[in-house]
Amino acid sequence: MNAPEGDVPSRLSHAEIEALLGSYALDAVDGPEAEAVELHLLECPRCRAEVAQHREVAALLGNVGTPAPDRLWDRIAASLEEAPPDLRLAAVPEPRRGPKAIRGRLRVGLAATAAAAAVVIGLLAFQVNRLDNRVNNLAQATPEHGLSQVATAAVLDPQARRVDLRSPQGNQSVQGVVLPNGNGYLVKVDLRPLPARQTYQLWAVTGSRQVSLGVLGADPQQTAFSLGSPSGVGTLVVTVEPAGGVTSTTNPAVVSGVLS
Protein backbone atom coordinates (compact mmCIF):
# COMPACT_ATOMS: atom_id res chain seq x y z
CA MET A 1 0.00 0.00 0.00
CA ASN A 2 1.74 3.14 -1.18
CA ALA A 3 -0.94 5.78 -0.93
CA PRO A 4 0.51 9.04 0.33
CA GLU A 5 -0.84 10.39 3.60
CA GLY A 6 -4.26 11.90 3.16
CA ASP A 7 -5.14 9.52 0.40
CA VAL A 8 -5.87 6.34 2.26
CA PRO A 9 -8.76 4.17 1.21
CA SER A 10 -11.46 4.43 3.82
CA ARG A 11 -11.63 0.65 4.13
CA LEU A 12 -8.37 -1.22 4.33
CA SER A 13 -8.54 -4.95 3.97
CA HIS A 14 -7.86 -7.17 6.95
CA ALA A 15 -4.51 -8.14 5.46
CA GLU A 16 -3.56 -4.50 4.93
CA ILE A 17 -4.47 -3.64 8.51
CA GLU A 18 -2.59 -6.65 9.80
CA ALA A 19 0.55 -5.58 7.99
CA LEU A 20 0.37 -2.24 9.80
CA LEU A 21 -0.03 -3.60 13.33
CA GLY A 22 3.66 -3.72 14.25
CA SER A 23 4.25 -0.17 13.02
CA TYR A 24 1.05 0.98 14.68
CA ALA A 25 2.17 -0.36 18.04
CA LEU A 26 5.36 1.69 17.72
CA ASP A 27 3.38 4.87 16.95
CA ALA A 28 4.87 4.70 13.46
CA VAL A 29 1.56 4.88 11.60
CA ASP A 30 0.18 8.33 11.09
CA GLY A 31 -2.89 10.16 9.91
CA PRO A 32 -5.89 8.50 8.30
CA GLU A 33 -4.08 5.17 8.24
CA ALA A 34 -3.79 5.21 12.02
CA GLU A 35 -7.47 5.99 12.28
CA ALA A 36 -8.30 3.13 9.94
CA VAL A 37 -6.32 0.78 12.19
CA GLU A 38 -8.09 2.07 15.28
CA LEU A 39 -11.51 1.60 13.74
CA HIS A 40 -10.58 -1.91 12.77
CA LEU A 41 -9.31 -2.70 16.27
CA LEU A 42 -12.67 -1.81 17.72
CA GLU A 43 -14.23 -4.75 15.97
CA CYS A 44 -11.39 -7.25 15.62
CA PRO A 45 -10.27 -9.05 18.79
CA ARG A 46 -7.54 -10.92 16.96
CA CYS A 47 -5.82 -7.74 15.80
CA ARG A 48 -6.36 -6.19 19.23
CA ALA A 49 -4.51 -9.11 20.78
CA GLU A 50 -1.66 -8.74 18.33
CA VAL A 51 -1.30 -5.02 19.00
CA ALA A 52 -1.32 -5.74 22.72
CA GLN A 53 1.58 -8.13 22.24
CA HIS A 54 3.53 -5.64 20.16
CA ARG A 55 2.85 -2.94 22.73
CA GLU A 56 4.30 -5.14 25.40
CA VAL A 57 7.53 -5.38 23.46
CA ALA A 58 7.42 -1.63 22.81
CA ALA A 59 7.03 -0.96 26.52
CA LEU A 60 10.04 -3.18 27.17
CA LEU A 61 12.03 -1.23 24.60
CA GLY A 62 11.37 1.80 26.77
CA ASN A 63 13.67 0.29 29.37
CA VAL A 64 16.67 0.71 27.18
CA GLY A 65 17.72 4.23 28.03
CA THR A 66 20.07 6.31 30.10
CA PRO A 67 19.37 7.54 33.61
CA ALA A 68 17.40 10.77 33.84
CA PRO A 69 18.79 13.71 35.77
CA ASP A 70 17.68 13.87 39.40
CA ARG A 71 16.23 17.31 38.87
CA LEU A 72 13.55 15.93 36.57
CA TRP A 73 11.71 14.19 39.34
CA ASP A 74 12.09 17.19 41.63
CA ARG A 75 10.51 19.36 39.00
CA ILE A 76 7.61 17.01 38.41
CA ALA A 77 6.96 16.79 42.13
CA ALA A 78 7.14 20.57 42.47
CA SER A 79 4.68 21.12 39.64
CA LEU A 80 1.93 19.15 41.32
CA GLU A 81 0.07 21.70 43.29
CA GLU A 82 -0.78 19.63 46.30
CA ALA A 83 1.09 17.41 48.68
CA PRO A 84 1.35 13.86 47.37
CA PRO A 85 -1.76 11.98 48.35
CA ASP A 86 -1.31 8.97 50.50
CA LEU A 87 -3.95 6.52 49.37
CA ARG A 88 -2.69 3.81 47.13
CA LEU A 89 -5.46 2.70 44.88
CA ALA A 90 -6.44 0.02 42.56
CA ALA A 91 -5.64 -3.56 41.88
CA VAL A 92 -1.94 -3.14 41.44
CA PRO A 93 1.05 -4.56 43.27
CA GLU A 94 2.62 -2.78 46.22
CA PRO A 95 5.28 -0.30 45.23
CA ARG A 96 8.67 -1.92 45.37
CA ARG A 97 10.64 1.19 46.00
CA GLY A 98 10.16 4.64 47.44
CA PRO A 99 10.58 7.77 45.36
CA LYS A 100 14.14 8.24 46.61
CA ALA A 101 15.29 4.89 45.34
CA ILE A 102 13.47 5.46 42.11
CA ARG A 103 15.04 8.79 41.48
CA GLY A 104 18.32 7.21 40.54
CA ARG A 105 16.58 4.85 38.19
CA LEU A 106 14.78 7.39 36.05
CA ARG A 107 15.75 7.10 32.48
CA VAL A 108 15.53 9.46 29.58
CA GLY A 109 16.87 10.23 26.16
CA LEU A 110 14.50 10.81 23.33
CA ALA A 111 14.85 7.28 22.76
CA ALA A 112 13.82 7.33 25.91
CA THR A 113 11.42 9.71 26.82
CA ALA A 114 9.30 6.73 27.15
CA ALA A 115 11.72 4.99 29.40
CA ALA A 116 11.51 7.58 32.08
CA ALA A 117 8.18 6.20 33.03
CA ALA A 118 10.12 3.60 34.91
CA VAL A 119 9.36 5.52 38.03
CA VAL A 120 5.74 4.71 37.95
CA ILE A 121 5.73 1.93 40.45
CA GLY A 122 6.28 4.34 43.28
CA LEU A 123 3.82 6.81 41.91
CA LEU A 124 0.62 4.86 42.19
CA ALA A 125 -0.27 7.29 44.89
CA PHE A 126 -0.75 9.84 42.14
CA GLN A 127 -4.06 8.32 41.31
CA VAL A 128 -5.56 9.98 44.26
CA ASN A 129 -5.85 13.54 45.30
CA ARG A 130 -7.25 15.23 48.29
CA LEU A 131 -9.15 13.35 50.90
CA ASP A 132 -12.34 14.67 52.33
CA ASN A 133 -13.09 13.99 55.91
CA ARG A 134 -16.57 12.74 55.39
CA VAL A 135 -16.15 9.64 57.48
CA ASN A 136 -19.42 8.49 58.87
CA ASN A 137 -20.84 5.27 60.07
CA LEU A 138 -23.40 4.17 57.57
CA ALA A 139 -24.51 1.14 59.48
CA GLN A 140 -25.87 3.46 62.15
CA ALA A 141 -27.19 6.05 59.77
CA THR A 142 -29.42 3.64 57.92
CA PRO A 143 -32.25 1.87 59.66
CA GLU A 144 -31.46 -1.76 59.22
CA HIS A 145 -34.97 -2.88 58.52
CA GLY A 146 -36.18 -2.13 55.08
CA LEU A 147 -32.77 -1.73 53.52
CA SER A 148 -33.04 -4.96 51.64
CA GLN A 149 -36.25 -3.85 49.95
CA VAL A 150 -34.82 -0.44 49.10
CA ALA A 151 -31.68 -2.05 47.74
CA THR A 152 -33.69 -4.51 45.70
CA ALA A 153 -35.77 -1.68 44.28
CA ALA A 154 -32.56 0.15 43.39
CA VAL A 155 -31.20 -2.88 41.57
CA LEU A 156 -34.36 -3.02 39.49
CA ASP A 157 -34.28 0.69 38.68
CA PRO A 158 -33.48 0.97 34.97
CA GLN A 159 -31.57 4.17 35.61
CA ALA A 160 -29.28 2.60 38.22
CA ARG A 161 -25.60 2.45 37.40
CA ARG A 162 -23.87 -0.73 38.42
CA VAL A 163 -20.48 -1.14 39.96
CA ASP A 164 -18.65 -4.40 40.35
CA LEU A 165 -15.78 -4.13 42.81
CA ARG A 166 -13.25 -6.94 42.68
CA SER A 167 -9.99 -7.85 44.36
CA PRO A 168 -6.86 -8.41 42.26
CA GLN A 169 -7.20 -12.17 42.68
CA GLY A 170 -10.93 -12.06 42.15
CA ASN A 171 -11.67 -13.93 45.37
CA GLN A 172 -13.44 -11.02 47.08
CA SER A 173 -16.11 -8.85 45.53
CA VAL A 174 -18.79 -6.27 46.17
CA GLN A 175 -21.64 -5.43 43.85
CA GLY A 176 -23.35 -2.10 44.08
CA VAL A 177 -25.79 0.19 42.36
CA VAL A 178 -26.00 3.96 42.31
CA LEU A 179 -29.21 5.81 41.53
CA PRO A 180 -29.29 9.11 39.63
CA ASN A 181 -29.99 10.97 42.88
CA GLY A 182 -26.68 9.77 44.30
CA ASN A 183 -28.09 7.15 46.64
CA GLY A 184 -26.08 3.99 46.42
CA TYR A 185 -26.39 0.49 47.79
CA LEU A 186 -23.89 -2.28 48.23
CA VAL A 187 -26.25 -5.14 47.47
CA LYS A 188 -23.98 -8.16 47.48
CA VAL A 189 -20.96 -8.04 49.73
CA ASP A 190 -18.47 -10.85 49.68
CA LEU A 191 -15.59 -9.70 51.87
CA ARG A 192 -13.60 -11.82 54.30
CA PRO A 193 -14.63 -10.98 57.93
CA LEU A 194 -11.99 -8.93 59.77
CA PRO A 195 -10.85 -9.02 63.40
CA ALA A 196 -12.88 -6.64 65.58
CA ARG A 197 -10.07 -4.08 65.70
CA GLN A 198 -10.36 -3.51 61.94
CA THR A 199 -13.05 -2.28 59.58
CA TYR A 200 -13.69 -2.02 55.87
CA GLN A 201 -14.04 1.50 54.54
CA LEU A 202 -15.65 2.63 51.27
CA TRP A 203 -14.16 5.44 49.16
CA ALA A 204 -15.22 7.25 45.98
CA VAL A 205 -12.66 8.48 43.50
CA THR A 206 -13.77 11.39 41.39
CA GLY A 207 -11.59 12.94 38.74
CA SER A 208 -9.70 15.09 41.20
CA ARG A 209 -10.94 14.10 44.61
CA GLN A 210 -11.03 11.22 47.02
CA VAL A 211 -13.96 11.00 49.40
CA SER A 212 -14.75 8.58 52.19
CA LEU A 213 -18.25 7.19 51.75
CA GLY A 214 -18.35 5.47 55.05
CA VAL A 215 -17.12 2.83 57.46
CA LEU A 216 -18.56 -0.58 56.66
CA GLY A 217 -17.64 -2.58 59.77
CA ALA A 218 -15.66 -5.79 60.14
CA ASP A 219 -18.15 -8.07 58.41
CA PRO A 220 -20.19 -5.89 56.07
CA GLN A 221 -23.54 -6.86 54.63
CA GLN A 222 -25.90 -4.81 52.49
CA THR A 223 -25.22 -1.13 53.07
CA ALA A 224 -26.54 2.19 51.86
CA PHE A 225 -24.35 5.15 51.01
CA SER A 226 -24.64 8.50 49.29
CA LEU A 227 -22.42 9.87 46.59
CA GLY A 228 -23.77 13.41 46.71
CA SER A 229 -23.42 14.26 43.04
CA PRO A 230 -22.71 10.97 41.29
CA SER A 231 -21.85 12.32 37.86
CA GLY A 232 -18.13 12.80 38.37
CA VAL A 233 -17.51 9.62 40.33
CA GLY A 234 -15.63 7.00 38.39
CA THR A 235 -14.38 4.43 40.82
CA LEU A 236 -15.37 2.93 44.16
CA VAL A 237 -12.74 1.39 46.39
CA VAL A 238 -12.79 -0.54 49.67
CA THR A 239 -9.81 -0.56 52.03
CA VAL A 240 -9.10 -2.16 55.41
CA GLU A 241 -8.62 0.34 58.24
CA PRO A 242 -8.44 0.42 62.03
CA ALA A 243 -11.89 0.14 63.67
CA GLY A 244 -13.64 3.48 63.53
CA GLY A 245 -12.20 4.33 60.15
CA VAL A 246 -9.74 6.98 59.08
CA THR A 247 -9.82 10.27 57.20
CA SER A 248 -6.94 9.30 54.98
CA THR A 249 -5.29 6.03 54.28
CA THR A 250 -2.06 4.49 53.09
CA ASN A 251 -3.64 1.10 52.57
CA PRO A 252 -4.14 -0.58 49.20
CA ALA A 253 -7.56 -1.31 47.74
CA VAL A 254 -9.07 -4.65 48.79
CA VAL A 255 -11.60 -4.39 45.99
CA SER A 256 -12.17 -1.66 43.44
CA GLY A 257 -14.51 -1.11 40.54
CA VAL A 258 -15.56 1.45 37.98
CA LEU A 259 -19.12 2.75 37.85
CA SER A 260 -20.74 1.66 34.62
Partner 1 sequence: MSAAEEVIQEVFIRLWHRPEKFDPERGSLRSFLLAQAHGRAVDLLRAESSRRRREEREARSTATSGYDLEHEVWDLTVADHVKEALSGLPDEERRAIELAYFGGHTYREVAVLLDQPEGTVKSRIRAGLKRMRSKLADSGVAGP
Q: By rule CB under 8 A, what count of residues binds partner 1?
A: 73
| Phi, psi dihedral angles at 204 (to 5 degrees) | -110, 140
CA distance 167 to 254: 6
Task: Show contacts with partner 1 in window 36-75 (CB under 8 A).
Answer: 38, 41, 48, 51-64, 68-69, 72, 75
Q: Where are the alpha helices (DSSP H) in the chain?
A: 14-25, 31-43, 45-61, 70-79, 99-103, 110-113, 138-141, 147-156
CA trace torsion 58, 63, 65, 71 (10° rounding): 120
Compare residues 41 and 216 and give the one whose CB is closer to partner 1: 41
CB of 229 to partner 1, least distance (A): 16
CA distances from 250 to 48, 95, 131, 175, 253 (A): 36, 12, 12, 24, 10
Question: What residues from 114 to 173 belong to the interface with partner 1 (CB under 8 A)?
Answer: 114-118, 120-121, 123-124, 126-129
Q: Is 112 in the site for partner 1 (CB under 8 A)?
A: yes
Task: Return the residues of window 73-92 that contact partner 1 according to CB under 8 A.
Answer: 75-76, 79-80, 89-92
Residues 187-216 that bind partner 1 (CB under 8 A): 205, 207-208
Cβ-based nearer residue to partner 1, 108 or 139:
108
Q: Supply the minimum distance, in Å, between the C-beta of residue 37 and partner 1.
A: 10
